Structures are given as structure tokens and as C-alpha cells.
Structure 1
Amino acid sequence: MTVERLRLPFFVYGTLRPGRENHDLYLRGRTAEERPALLRGAVMYEGPGWPYAVAEPGGEIHGELITPATEHYDALLVALDRLEDYAPGDPANIYERVAREVILGDGEATGAWVYLAAEPVARRLRASGTLVPGGDWVSC
């Protein structure tokens, strides 16, 4: 099975987190479980109204692991890809959806889809972006 065909939960760190506008629009009533989680090996930058996660050794981002309800998985995958301007292999992507390991509150590690800034965006952010202190956009 290719990585694109995996039915992983989603690690969310910005507007899709509980209590934020896109959580209500996209996820409310469509999830089986939502748990606090930590993504290691990435840092967060401010964006125009939303954050960007950028791969960076030693960094950490706080967020939630969202497990879609089985009957909503396929529709949510399409909707979230559209929200994040992601299409597999498109060089114009703003984000790339990648499989990464996240750490749950009890220390358990699990795989999840994460939307990381596409490399051209990540380069710009590394050069002149504003880091989110502590890797937690909700607490800023």
C-alpha cells in the first residue's frame, strides 16, 4: 500500500483545532476521537491568519490528533486537502500532506497525516518568517 492510500488520523495545529473556526466547519460531528498530541521535528511560523508547520530538527508543535469517524474519512480527506491547497504532486502546493509520527499525552507514538509547508513556502518562512513561541498557535 502506498503512503497516499493510508487511512491515518490527522495531526492538526491551527484553525482545525477544537474551538477554532475550521474545526467547527470541517470536523465537528465527523470525528471518532480527538486527543492532544505533539509533533517533533517541526517548528511553527505565523502566516496570514493561520500557521505553517516547517520541518526542523529539534522543534516541537502542539496540536491534536484527530481520528475521523470511519464513514466520514474519505470525504474529510478530500475536504482537508482542498482547505490546505494540497494536491498530490502539484508544484503549486502551499502545504504538503506527509505521514509523520506524533506523540500522544500518554507517551504513545502513532502515525498521522500532517500538512507541512511546501518547500518554497518553507524556504521563505525560514528566511524571513516569524516563529510561533513554544510551537502552540492557540496559546499565542
Structure 2
Amino acid sequence: MTLSPRLPFFVYGTLRPGEPNHDAFLRGRVRAEEPARMEGAALYDGPGYPYVVEDVRGGGMVYGDLVTARPEGYATLLADLDRLEEYAPGDPRSLYERVAREVLRDVDGTGVQAWVYVAAPSVAARLRARGRLIESGDWRGRR
């Protein structure tokens, strides 16, 4: 079994501060949270929760937060987030894939490698064909 690198997480939906899963999964388990954005991606309504779809054209932007886990609880948090996102490596039924991507800190624009849960290929294809795009790229602004 290969160990995953201990990257921060880019959260863009229900795990953001003030959203329903933040307190249940992240409160007390993170060292830092800061606004960030991901270029080359589009945001779709699930409904009920969002999906990031990597944009082959590269023009989209998704807004969220960069979350750095406390080192002592990293492995447990990673496993909990994988379960929440229904991600199982190699399982074709997974709704999401966890991938390492560059995200940009809002404060200074520096790039950081982070884990991002993106729509699995079959889900992404359905969303591109007939999903509801969140044009602002911000889950909080969808209403």
C-alpha cells in the first residue's frame, strides 16, 4: 500500500467554514484555513453538494478554502474525507477522485499542491452534458 503525501485540502462546498460538513469533519482537526482558488476548473451543482470538473479549456475558476490538517490527526482525517466524498481508489462507483492539483492562495497568489476531490470521469461527463454550472465558481454564491 502506497502512503499518500500529506498535502493540504482544497475544499469548495459543504466543508467550507459555515457550511454543514465543516463542523462535523474539520472543527478542531485543522491547523489553518485560508481562502484559495483553483484555475482550470468548473463548479457544478450536485444537487445538495458541488462537484469540481476539470475544465479542458482551462478558463474556469473555482473558489474555496485551503485547509491544513493537524499533523497528528492527518491519516484519520484523510480517511474520513475519503468516506464523506465516497472515494475509494480504483472503484468505478466512486463519485469523486482525490487528485493533487495546484491551488492559489488568495492572500498572495502563491501556488500550493493540495488534495482536491474532483468529479469522477463518468460523473464529470454527465455534468458537462446536462449538469447545472455554477457560473460564479463559488458554491456560496449559487443561491
TM-score strictly above 0.5: yes
Give the counterpart letter for 2:89 in structure 1.
P
Runs of 4+ in 1 over 2 A off after TM superposition: none
> C-alpha distance in 2, partners of 1:134/1:120?
24
Equivalents in 1 of 2:15, 2:67: separation in Å? 9
Question: How far has the Cα of 1:48 moved from its partner?
Answer: 2.0
Q: Aligned in 2, Cα 1:34/1:82: closer, same or farther, shift over 3 Å?
A: same
Q: Determine whether 1:92 maps to 2:62.
A: no
Q: Which residue of 2 aligns with 1:53?
A: 52
For residue 6 of structure 1, what is the aligned residue in structure 2? 5
SS at match of 1:133: coil
Other-structure match for 2:78: 77
RMSD, aligned α-carbons: 1.3
Structure 2 unpaired stretches of 5+: none
Aligned residues: 139
- Matched to 1:120, the amino acid is S
Listed as ranges, the matches of 1:1-140 within 5 Å are 5-56=4-55, 57-105=58-106, 106-140=108-142
Higher helix share: 1
Q: Cα distance, 1:123 vs. partner?
A: 0.3
TM-score, normalised on structure 1? Answer: 0.96
Give the share of equivalent positions with the same residue, in percent.
57
Runs of 5+ unmatched residues, structure 1: none
Q: Distance in 1 between matches of 2:42 and 2:3?
A: 24
The alignment's TM-score, normalised by the length of structure 2, stands at 0.94
Question: Match of 2:48, as an amino acid?
Answer: G
